Structure formats: C-alpha cells, structure tokens
Amino acid sequence: MSPLNRRSVLLGLGAATLTACATQRLPAAPAAAPQTFPKVLARRERITRTVVGLRPFRPQGFRLEAERFGEKTVIHNYGHGGCGVTLSWGTSQRAATMAGEAGRFDVAVLGGGVMGLTSALLLARRGHAVTVYAEAMHPNTTSNIAGALWLPASLYDRDVATQEFLDLNWHVTREAHRGFLPYVNRPGYGVSWVRHSETSNRVRDPRFALPGGDDLYPDLQILTAQTRFGFPYEERYHTLMIDPDYYLDQLMRDAQLAGARFISQRFETLDDVLALAQPVIVNCTGLGAGKLFGDETIMPIRGQLTHLLPQPEIDYSYTTYIDGSLYMFPRKTGLVLGGSHGRGNWSLDVSEEELTRMIDGHAALAERAAFATHPA
C-alpha cells in the first residue's frame, strides 16, 4: 500500500514517482459538483442537554490480554480512550476468542458498556453461559455518552505505544469496522453512513494511511483547496455514525436474546472479582479497571458534549480545530457538539466555559463559507 504516492499526486508533489500499483490506489478525484453543507444553528436556545463523560485512556493503548489468578482466567478488554465504540467489535471478538480458549462453559463479563455488551453477545452466541455484572448498566454508562462517530482517535500516545501495539491496533481496527457493517441502516440500531471532514491547519505527512487503512474510509479525498471552512488541509470521506441511545439498547437486547443474564453489582476489590463462581472472567470495566486490577496507567480524558435540536438537513459531520478541537456529529435526535479533552480531569460537572467555547466556536464555523480556498 502506498498512500505516500497517492497523496503526492493530490498535493501536486511528485507525480513522476508514481508506480503503476500506486496509481491504481488513487481515490476518486475531488467531486466536480460542489457539495452542499447546510449551516449548523449553534445557538444557546437550541440546546437540549449538555453531558460529561470520562474516556478510559491508557498512553500505551488498550489492554487486550489474558491474566491468570490461580484457577481463574481474566481476559482484559479495556482502556479504549476516545474510540471504544469504534473498536468494540474488534477487541471484543478477540477477547471472546481468548475466553473460549480457556475451554470453560461459564463466563462472567464485568461491565455493561459497549465493550461488555459486545463481548457478552459474542460469547453467548458462541454457546457460553454468560453473566454480565456491572455497577452501571445501559443507559447509564460512559458508552451512552459517546459521540459516537466511527473514528479511531484519542487512543494512545505516539511516543509511548509500541510497534507491537500499533500492529495489533491496525488489525483490530479493520476487524472492528467489519463488525459494524452488517448493522448499517438496520432498523432500530442507529448506525448509518455520514460524510465526514477532518480539517487541519497543517498539510499532513502523505506517507501515512488513515487508521486501519484508507480503504476503510470510502470516497476518500485529500483536499488542499476548496476545503471545508477554508483550512489548508482536509481529509473528506464517509464513515459510520452510531447513535448509542439506539445502538446500545439493541445490543443489550441481542445479548439477552442470545441468553446472557445481567446482574447489577459493584466490585470493590480484586478479591471480590475472584470470588465469582465463573472460572473465566472478561474484564470490560473501562476506567474502573484501574482500581480493581491495580492498573496505574489508566486515566480519564474528560469530554463534554452539548446536544442541539435536530436539523434533518444536516447530513455531514466534521472534526476541526479553532481555539481547541471542535466536532459536530448529526443524529436523528439532534446535533452533537463536542471536542473537549481534559486529560487527567475526573470532574463530571458541566463546565460553563467549555459550553460557551462549543457554541461560539461552532457558530463561528457556520459563518465561514461552505467552501473557501485557503490563502496561498
């Protein structure tokens, strides 16, 4: 794969060096007919709610591995930062396979967020007797707060993650994407395609493909002119919009139909966990894993989302940067404005300052021309 060559052409940097193979990978040229981007009405009187959640972040990336405690096997599946919904099918499929390899019938799943529900569903469908234990269940988990765009982002620190992790993550990302495809436009699941723009003040290094490979982002265009909001650089493609209010509801129902049982329980210590009857335990406790399993590397990245009244005409999303990052995701139930990342911040209180930044920032973006050529 050679995204370097592809992007070199689009950026006008070295067409002569293209190989025939790389030429075949070129995405379609920028659309000839201008696309329309109706304005977001970012106004206080349109706010329906503002919510806060804590992304379970590990600088080295998610934890996906088996750990033995005497007779018990614990499969860890936590620490997915800002893209747990995105990666849920990928890491949960691997966690379910690891749990199956322990060769036991009864499996406990700790956690009722997207990771616990997906793991439980997969294990129940594979014939295990599954019991989900969690303090908070849908609709009261961090997963319910998520944006939730299918986008592998805010997952690890580049200077900390190992090459081994990056290789694993590449494959998991691809598996995760494949896991969502059967749900697109399935009635009641809240999963659909959206055309997404990611803009930047800096023209990005063309050697790097998008996470998991460019082919996961249909209709990919790299733009350095006629960009969204007039930024110097834009990656435009289609990705999946997942509405957690619908999606988690269905996932929980599917897990129950497959035979999973749900028990509301909080665990204070590792001994509490190991006292469970099941010999195999899949740990999907997100941030809770820090205390339960002594993981001192996991930390919160606080995020605040402001929901606005729906605008059915808005069929696009964006991630951009103007005095901090800002994103907008459209749902049937409303527009989601976000982009706050408070590393190490445990506060679940709504920040008025952040709310103002969201409304003012998105309103300012809406005032920019739909297309504008950035200054030379």
Interface residues with ligand FAD (CB under 6 A)? 53-56, 78, 80-86, 111-116, 134-136, 141-143, 145-149, 266-267, 284-286, 288, 292, 303, 305, 338
Supply the minimum distance, in Å, between the C-beta of residue 103 and ligand FAD. Answer: 26
Between helix 84-101 and helix 163-180 the angle, nearest 10°, is 100
Degrees, nearest 5: CA angle 287-338-38:
150
Number of separate helices (H) and strands (E) present in the chain: 10, 17
Supply the minimum distance, in Å, between the C-beta of residue 55 and ligand FAD. Answer: 5
Supply the minimum distance, in Å, between the C-beta of residue 205 and ligand FAD. Answer: 24
Integer Cα distance of 280 and 101 in angstroms: 10
* Pick 42 or 95: Cβ nearer ligand FAD: 95
Q: DSSP labels for 158-178?
A: TTTS-HHHHHHHHHHHHHHHH
C-beta separation of 168 from 64 below 8 A: yes
* Pick 9 or 98: Cβ nearer ligand FAD: 98
Integer Cα distance of 46 and 309 in angstroms: 5
* Pick 42 or 117: Cβ nearer ligand FAD: 117
Supply the minimum distance, in Å, between the C-beta of residue 363 and ligand FAD. Answer: 20
In the chain, the amino acid numbered 11 is L
Supply the minimum distance, in Å, between the C-beta of residue 197 and ligand FAD. Answer: 15
Integer Cα distance of 133 and 126 in angstroms: 19
Between helix 114-125 and helix 84-101 the angle, nearest 10°, is 40
The two three-digit tokens of residue 7, written as one number: 């992007």
Dmax (CA) for the chain in angstroms is: 66
Integer Cα distance of 373 and 224 in angstroms: 8
* Pick 44 or 266: Cβ nearer ligand FAD: 266
* Pick 9 or 117: Cβ nearer ligand FAD: 117
Integer Cα distance of 324 and 304 in angstroms: 13
Supply the minimum distance, in Å, between the C-beta of residue 371 and ligand FAD. Answer: 25
* Pick 9 or 62: Cβ nearer ligand FAD: 62
* Pick 27 or 56: Cβ nearer ligand FAD: 56
Supply the minimum distance, in Å, between the C-beta of residue 137 and ligand FAD. Answer: 6
The two three-digit tokens of residue 183, written as one number: 């749900």
